[in-house]
Amino acid sequence: MAKKRFKVESSCPQCGCSAVAHLSEEEIKEKYGDVANVHMECGECMLKYSSPMASACPEWDEACKMKTK
């Protein structure tokens, strides 16, 4: 059974390098929990930054809200 994977996308504010990760629901929860911001580390300049979940992964943001009571 294939699990749905969410595309989490963001770009580094310092060098503009973009990062894309494909994560399952479990992986997102484990990595980011229910926070509104995703924490990313740029693979180019190693800058740690956060990006709003709503823009990094609108799909997850929506799915997340649907489950929130």
Q: Which residues of the chain form contacts with Zn ion (CB under 5 A)?
A: 12, 14-15, 17, 42, 44-45, 47
The minimum distance between CB 19 and Zn ion, in angstroms, equals 9
Between 36 and 45, whose beta carbon lies closer to Zn ion?
45
Say if residue 47 is exposed, middle or buried (CB neighbours under 10 Å; 0-12, 13-18, 19+): middle
DSSP state of 7: E
The minimum distance between CB 51 and Zn ion, in angstroms, equals 12
Three-class SS state of 12: coil
Instruction: Judge contact between 15 and 42, C-beta under 8 A.
Output: yes
Between 15 and 36, whose beta carbon lies closer to Zn ion?
15
Between 48 and 65, whose beta carbon lies closer to Zn ion?
48
